[in-house]
Amino acid sequence: MRIVSLFTRHATAANLLMSLILAFGVYATTQLRAQFMPDVISEEVSVSIAWEDASAEDVADDIVNVVSPNLLGVEGVSSLSAIARSGQARFTLEFEPGWDISRAMEDVDAAMPSASALPEAAEDAEIARGVWRERVFDVVLSGDVEADRIEALGEELKQEFLRAGITRVSLRGVTSPEITLEIDAAHLAEYGMSLSDVGAVIEANARESAVGEAGASGTPVRIGQDKLSAEGLAGMELRTDRGVISLDEIAQVQTSKAGSGRAYFLEGRPAVSISVERGPTGDALAIQREVIEIGEAFVAKAPEELQIDLMRNMAEGIGDQLSILIDNAFFGLGLVLVLLFVFLSPSAAVWVSAGIPVAMAAGLGLMWVTGQSLNMISMFALLICLGIIVDDAIVVAEHAEYRHRTKGERRDRAAERAARGMLVPVLASTVTTVVAFMSLQSIDGRFGEFIATIPLVVAAVLAASLAECFLILPHHLGHGLAKLDTSFLSWPSRVVNRAFDRMRVAVFAPVVRALIAARYAVLLLAVGATLQGIMMVVDRDVSWRFFVAPQSTTISANIAMTDEATRGDTMEMLDEMLRAANEVRADFEAEHGADPVTAVLTEIGGSAGRGLATAEDKDADLLGALTIELIGADDRPYDADAFVQAFEQALRKPETLETFSFRAGRFGPGGDSLDVALYGYDPMALDQAAEALKEQLALIPDITGLEDDLTLAATGQSLRLTGLGRAMGFDETDVATELRNRLNGVEAVSFQEGSQEAVIRVELPEDALSAAYLEEILIQSSEGQWAELGEIVEVVADPSITSIRSEAGQSVVHVTGEISATDPLRAEAVMTQIREVELPAIAASHGVSFEMGGLAEQESEFLGDALVGYGICLLLIYMTLALVLGNWFWPLSIMGVIPVGLTGVIWGHYWWDLPMSIFSIVGFVGMSGIIVNDSIVLVTAISDRMKTMPHREAIVDAVSERLRPVLLTTLTTVLGLAPLLFEASTQAAFLKPMVVTLCFGLIFGFFIVLFVVPSLIAVQGDIGSAIGRLRGAGRGLAPAGADAQSEAS
């Protein structure tokens, strides 16, 4: 209390504090980084163990199954996944949020089994911490020039970025330098050599070697000379059983093969792509500005044919989204200011509204101090606060005006007493709001991190608002109330308030009195309305869609060809995809009048977007992708899913196509909208189950991008050494090594050429690697004997699994896809069909078990945590109210408005034709704290009046007197959000359920506070009177105050 008086009376303290807060906020705003969504960073540790020549099955049996139990026991692990591939096992451990990863890495290292428990040939485990990064955009260079020239320009631009301090860049589409020596198998047999023998000679002679230093000056002495070129290698000598020969006598020496490696084409033009990423502290907008500046300077000095485009531009989306919220914030602020000037005197309205920038500045400062960023969620949290932060100031200012106008108190005394008199109820209302929002912190997982910014920002701004309300506002009101009734500018408020006061006395008070008389009917009506709202959800009149991620303008179409296919087949498939895309593009332009596509980037040798789950198991030449950039979502009347569905239907799929996945890019932490995990112990059964499930789901047109993460090598062959082979001195290891070298080639030397790593490779001609080759190949034993492979091994057709995935020690395959969110009811029906019809049938027929993952799993975890957090929220609100009111039962009357407010939430979604979502839940939790604020002030007023007035009259007088502040606080919050309620942009659509929840919940809450809460208090008076009469009858005495209490009846 003393500090309130001090700041009210001191000449400069309040203004100094306000100036410091504003300066702090302005500085913080310049330091806050901008991004589209909050960072959702998974704390991960990876473990890799190499075992050369081992099959995926052996790696799974002898490494994964041995290591997994140990890693599952590491403290803090929330999930463990593993993948066994030929020659390698990789484990990924995800830890609980906030876990000490340095300690985690030590624990993982300590948990690894001893070397004796693993295969002798297995290498030591490599343990690494996961590195989080987010792509900002891709810089694509293209032009009608030679590919080599484009590659050189791409490397030059990449170096420009690095010199400017943009370090997270990677250049793609540049063929790594490679010198290839193709040697026919007949030559190897003729000269008694293997590919590895030739590779060893090249390794020993391709570089000059240092042998020491000479003389006192230490002059370096070297022997030999570098032969790291096709010409140098061609003349290199080989010593064989038949004498010395040169390499070019038995080998075709050539530099990088035309049409190899990863390559890009933009609208048919050769291109390269520079991926620009940011780390956890990177500012996407600042990076974009710098990249554009460097790019414009680079184009100015580059060839005229060169073109630079930004694709997958998340930074542009950030600017657009933030602009939408800022525009709506200023519009909402204008509405709030108009409302304040209509109901309050100009001076009071000015100083009440001055609290908005002060509280916002403090909130921005605290956001910077706590490491937050400006993103869609934090900006939306600030927008929520826009109307809430003036609620406390309105209560204090309105009460100060009441004391100055009605009681004739001096302006400074009225302001000080108003602040001191409202301190407890205002503090309680702020605490309940903060408690409600902070309960969201109890939600774990990705979505818990995703929304964590909201409670932190709201708490920071409301704390600042509270300080402004009691330390700064009273001082200004002490001067501003002087012209309360004389200023010409106060004419609107005088007219409105006179009319309002007449309405309050002549209309509102009688209505309240009548409703209290019919209090039981009012309560029954409230209960009925609540039950009706709940039934609307049960009957699906209001649908449910957990999270509808905002779409980007990018579509990624990824393909993988069968093992029998060639790079040429992949290019033909990409041409077909380009044809289908152009066909759909023309159809959409004809139907909607605008070209839906801004750019098409073709890629061979890799994947785009999220990529294919099995991409690592495929030869790069069998991978391809199409990246399609659409016009902005607000410039087209259809979503990206519609384009994807039409694209997929127009595509002709050849037999050589193994996997295709077309997806619209999305933002946010959610995984796939469809993610089914199939568990079992037989990988072959899992593969059959996954294929059967994909066949069934492919019949549902709402599902796109179907794929699984299990790769089956359908043409696999196993070689088993025969008795003759053993007798000739062969063993499995020697045969396997020689076969691997001949099938894959031998990397003889790697060296640096510019910024790239170049290699020299020795291999057989590609046309020699036919199916019959495995029978005819000649292999030399360790004893020097030569034999055809078909004589020493038995070839058995044995389809094998290229990779085996496991989770928590059990084999698993994930079938993923995207369900169109255009129709929420249809999406919900599709999920129900999959869960209750398709999956049980697949599981029963293939002997596997299943579990819904992705968004379905995260939804279950989120709702469970939210329910626990909300229970804690209600308990803390009750304790706060009981402490402030000094009564066990009145808090129940106040909290009774919460379930009835749910009716407004449900009807709001129904009227706006919106599905309820995660943001509806978040909004309802926050609304529970806001909606009780007016009840607190109202019940406090009723309590004060009941000390001197009859029960019913005390209620009527308090409700009538608090009508104006209740109306003002409700309208300021609703009007602050109203512009976003009518926002037509699809980019903010995912936030609209929360806006609807708050607006309609509070509008309904306004009537509940004024009509239902007084009825509840009156009923409590009835109960108290009845109990008093019973106690009095038991003692033969009338209860004290019974006459006063009876007036409520």
pLDDT digits (tens, 9 = 90+) for 928-961: 888 888 788 788 888 888 888 888 888 888 888 8
Is it the case that residue 740 has pLDDT exceeding 80?
no
Is it the case that residue 636 has pLDDT exceeding 70?
yes
Mean pLDDT of the 465-481 span: 80
408 within 8 A of 989, measured Cβ to Cβ? no
Q: How far apart are CA 460 and CA 434, in angstroms?
A: 9
Q: What's the confidence (pLDDT) of residue 717?
A: 61
172 versus 740: the higher-pLDDT residue is 172
Q: What's the confidence (pLDDT) of residue 692?
A: 92
Q: Which CATH number fits domain 178-207+225-255+717-798: 3.40.50.410, 3.30.2090.10, 3.30.420.40, 3.30.450.20?
A: 3.30.2090.10
CATH fold of 551-666: Alpha-Beta Plaits (3.30.70)
Q: How far apart are CA 951 and CA 433, in angstroms?
A: 29
CATH fold of 134-176+259-311: Alpha-Beta Plaits (3.30.70)
- Model confidence at 770, pLDDT cuts 50, 70, 90, reads low
pLDDT digits (tens, 9 = 90+) for 11-25: 788 889 889 999 999
Percent of the chain residues past pLDDT 90, beyond the cut = 11
- Model confidence at 590, pLDDT cuts 50, 70, 90, reads very high
Q: What's the confidence (pLDDT) of residue 768?
A: 65
827 versus 924: the higher-pLDDT residue is 924
| 134-176+259-311 and 44-129 share a CATH fold | yes
pLDDT digits (tens, 9 = 90+) for 245-303: 888 888 888 876 555 678 899 888 889 998 888 877 777 778 888 888 898 888 888 88
Q: For residue 957, with 0-12 CB atoms within 10 Å meaning exposed, 13-18 middle and 19 or more buried, which class applies?
A: middle
The domain limits of the chain are 2-31+317-545+860-1043, 44-129, 134-176+259-311, 178-207+225-255+717-798, 551-666
Specify the DSSP class assigned to residue 177: P
Is it the case that residue 1046 has pLDDT exceeding 50?
no
Q: Which CATH number fits domain 2-31+317-545+860-1043: 1.10.1040.10, 1.20.1640.10, 1.10.287.70, 3.40.309.10?
A: 1.20.1640.10
Q: Which residues pair with 83 in a beta bridge?
A: 90, 805
Least confident of 82-91, 197-206, 655-664: 197-206
- Model confidence at 226, pLDDT cuts 50, 70, 90, reads low
104 within 8 A of 76, measured Cβ to Cβ? yes
The residue behind tokens 């209290």 is 516
The residue behind tokens 């005819």 is 776
Q: What's the confidence (pLDDT) of residue 602?
A: 92
Label residues 611-647 b or e (16+ Cβ within 10 Å = b).
Answer: ebbbbebbebbbbbbbbbbbeebeebeebbbbbbbbb
Q: How far apart are CA 509 and CA 957, in angstroms?
A: 8
Q: How many CB atoms lie within 10 A of CB 506?
A: 9
Least confident of 358-372, 532-546, 741-755, 985-999: 741-755
1025 versus 68: the higher-pLDDT residue is 68
CATH class as words, domain 44-129: alpha beta
| Cα Rg of the chain, angstroms | 37
Is it the case that residue 409 has pLDDT exceeding 80?
no
Dihedral over alpha carbons 461, 467, 468, 472 (to 10 degrees) = -160
Q: What's the confidence (pLDDT) of residue 166?
A: 85
Phi, psi at residue 847, to the nearest 5°?
A: 65, 40
Tell me the pLDDT of the chain averaged across its residues.
82
Q: How far apart are CA 723 and CA 596, in angstroms?
A: 66
pLDDT digits (tens, 9 = 90+) for 37-61: 777 777 789 999 998 878 888 898 8
Q: What's the confidence (pLDDT) of residue 581?
A: 92
Q: Which 3 state secondary structure label does DSSP give 484? A: coil
Q: What's the confidence (pLDDT) of residue 771?
A: 56
Q: What's the confidence (pLDDT) of residue 49?
A: 93
Q: For residue 472, with 0-12 CB atoms within 10 Å meaning exposed, 13-18 middle and 19 or more buried, which class applies?
A: buried
Q: How far apart are CA 347 and CA 353, in angstroms?
A: 10
Q: How many CB atoms lie within 10 A of CB 729?
A: 15
Q: What's the confidence (pLDDT) of residue 638?
A: 86
Specify the DSSP class assigned to residue 37: S
Q: How far apart are CA 496 and CA 507, in angstroms?
A: 16
122 within 8 A of 842, measured Cβ to Cβ? no
Is it the case that residue 781 has pLDDT exceeding 90?
no
pLDDT digits (tens, 9 = 90+) for 594-617: 999 999 999 998 888 878 887 887
Q: How many CB atoms lie within 10 A of CB 875?
A: 12
Specify the DSSP class assigned to residue 988: G
The residue behind tokens 């009691």 is 470
Q: What's the confidence (pLDDT) of residue 1045?
A: 41
pLDDT digits (tens, 9 = 90+) for 849-876: 998 887 777 888 888 899 999 999 899 9
Q: What's the confidence (pLDDT) of residue 875?
A: 92
pLDDT digits (tens, 9 = 90+) for 642-682: 888 899 889 999 989 988 888 887 776 767 788 899 998 88
1000 versus 208: the higher-pLDDT residue is 1000
Query: Considering only CA atoms, which of 203, 69, 36 is closest in space to residue 135?
Result: 36
Q: What's the confidence (pLDDT) of residue 634?
A: 80
pLDDT digits (tens, 9 = 90+) for 327-342: 887 888 888 888 888 8
**970 alpha carbon, distance to own chain's centre:** 33
Mean pLDDT of the 871-892 span: 85
Dihedral over alpha carbons 388, 389, 391, 397 (to 10 degrees) = -160
In terms of phi and psi (left: phi > 0; alpha: psi -120 to 50; beta: otherwise), the region of 33 is: beta
**Which tokens go with 942?**
């009723």
- Model confidence at 580, pLDDT cuts 50, 70, 90, reads very high
